[in-house]
Amino acid sequence: MSEELQVSGIVDVRQSEIALLLEAGHLLMEMRKFKEAEEVFQGVAALVPHSEIPLVCMGNLAFSLGQKDRALRFHNEALKRVPDSALVHAHRGEVLIFMKKTAEAKEALERSLSIESEGPTALFASSLLDAIAAEVL
């Protein structure tokens, strides 16, 4: 029986529990319980201070509320934690597209693709680049 992955934060937490908490936050977000979702994400961000994922989730939450500047701040903060995170660059590019900063967005998305050229994050960045090329967004 393989031992379950532990995430070392303030305390050691099993990875499945972190995933469960983040999924709960997303569910709350889908239920339009934004305050509760933010509390969950903040809790996870405090629990694993080295991970950029909870900050990306908070950025997504702000973005879904139309708070683009706040979303960008969260993504920038996430970048401070993990500068070479393809996920953060991709989400940052998304926010920049909607802030009409197309050149910066393109740069961020290309950076994301250069870090991770395959996988779900790369597909996300590629689809955003396609949207820029088609001038859809």
Partner 1 sequence: MNDNKIKGTSIRLSTVATSTRRTAKTDFGTVMRNGLVKGANVVSQGLQVAAPFIPGSAIVSAAVAGTNLAASFGSGGGAGAAPASYGSGAFGTSVSGLSSAGTGGLGGAGQSTGAGFVPGAHNTLQQGTAAAGASPSDAFTNMQSKVRETAEFQASFNLQYLDLQQTIQQDTRQFNLISNIMKTKHDAAKNALNNVR
Reported as type and span, the H/E element at residue 96 is: helix 86-98
The 3-state DSSP composition of the chain as helix, strand, coil percent (nearest 5) reads 70, 5, 25
Rounded to the nearest whole angstrom, what is the least distance from the CB of residue 103 to partner 1 in the complex? 19
Rounded to the nearest whole angstrom, what is the least distance from the CB of residue 33 to partner 1 in the complex? 18
Q: Does the footprint of partner 1 cover residue 109 (CB under 8 A)?
A: no
3-state secondary structure 39-57: HHHHHHHHHCCCCCHHHHH
Q: Does the footprint of partner 1 cover residue 28 (CB under 8 A)?
A: no
Residues at the interface with partner 1 (CB under 8 A): 7, 15, 18-19, 22-23, 26, 48, 51, 53, 56-57, 60, 87, 90, 94, 119-121, 123-124, 126-128, 130-131, 134, 136-137
